[in-house]
Chains A and B, each alone.
Chain A
Amino acid sequence: AQTVTQSQPEMSVQEAETVTLSCTYDTSENNYYLFWYKQPPSRQMILVIRQEAYKQQNATENRFSVNFQKAAKSFSLKISDSQLGDTAMYFCAFMKQEAGTASKLTFGTGTRLQVTL
């Protein structure tokens, strides 16, 4: 079974600064996907960024980028130029591709990020 660990329950960053959220996972699979989801207070969970394990290049989406270290099983999220709207709970998630059924997500316990003025 896969496990996902987010060791930082809460973090705080000042507006315009950069922050890195950590995530480690444990799996024996070679082909899989990793995700970061964002859940703003009282709002819907949305996808921030996705990484395919077979791709060596780190994924980026505007101010969001990941540092994917496959050998170390590490998948950290970097938020540059933090904005007040980045305040949210962030979840790291793992997915392996399944045959004959749906591919399921395994989530970490989340990191609550507060962006301050």
Chain B
Amino acid sequence: DVKVTQSSRYLVKRTGEKVFLECVQDMDHENMFWYRQDPGLGLRLIYFSYDVKMKEKGDIPEGYSVSREKKERFSLILESASTNQTSMYLCASSYPTHAPQATQYFGPGTRLTVL
């Protein structure tokens, strides 16, 4: 079974702090994704990566950056956390685009609260 893990289930940070959210997958997936989930808005894509050191902006990248130094690990960085970044953050991974069925597999999520 695919396993996607995230470093924390719950996190509380203060406004202005630098925040790192870590995601690790064990299936040698090329693609990795970061979403935020808010009530009534569904999941929105922040950033994604299709290979080591390769990254692209999603729909809502403002205020975030990412790092992918190793294939299995994808980090989401909040350079200066703000209260409007309080949310549930979900990581996902998938096989390459050319795979016949590029299903995404999700981690358990990190509920971040910024005070």
Chain A interface secondary structure, helix, strand, loop or mixed?
loop
Find A109's partner among B40, B50, B58, B107 (CB 8 Å cutoff): B40
Which residues of A lie under 8 Å from residue B103 when comparing CB positions?
35, 47, 50
Chain B interface secondary structure, helix, strand, loop or mixed?
strand
Q: How many residues of B contact A (CB 8 A)?
A: 27
In the complex, chain A residues 33-52 whose Cβ is within 8 Å of any chain B Cβ: 33, 35, 37, 43-47, 50, 52
Q: Name which residue of chain A comes closest to B90, CB basis.
A: A45
Interface pick from A64-72, A78-86, A99-107: A99-107
Which residues of B lie under 8 Å from residue A52 when comparing CB positions?
101
Which residues of A lie under 8 Å from residue B107 when comparing CB positions?
44
B43 within 8 A of A: yes
Find B50's partner among A43, A44, A50, A102 (CB 8 Å cutoff): A102
Which residues of B lie under 8 Å from residue A109 when comparing CB positions?
40-42
Q: Name which residue of chain B comes closest to A110, CB basis.
A: B42
Is the Cβ of A44 less than 8 Å from the Cβ of B42?
A: no
Q: Name which residue of chain A comes closest to B102, CB basis.
A: A103
Minimum Cβ distance to chain B for residue A52 (Å): 8
A14 within 8 A of B: no
Is the Cβ of A104 less than 8 Å from the Cβ of B50?
A: no
Is the Cβ of A105 less than 8 Å from the Cβ of B106?
A: no
CA of A99 to CA of B96, assembled, Å:
10
Is the Cβ of B42 less than 8 Å from the Cβ of A95?
A: no
Task: Give the one of A33, A52, A102, A108 with max B CB within 10 A.
Answer: A102
27 contacts across the A-B interface (CB closer than 8 A): A9-B40, A33-B101, A44-B109, A45-B90, A45-B106, A47-B105, A50-B101, A50-B103, A91-B42, A95-B102, A97-B97, A98-B97, A100-B97, A101-B97, A102-B30, A102-B33, A102-B48, A102-B94, A103-B102, A104-B33, A105-B33, A107-B42, A107-B44, A108-B42, A109-B40, A109-B41, A109-B42
> Given A46-B106, A109-B41, list of 17 further CB < 8 A pairs?
A4-B42, A44-B108, A45-B106, A50-B101, A97-B97, A102-B31, A102-B94, A103-B31, A103-B94, A104-B33, A104-B45, A104-B58, A105-B33, A105-B43, A105-B45, A108-B42, A109-B42
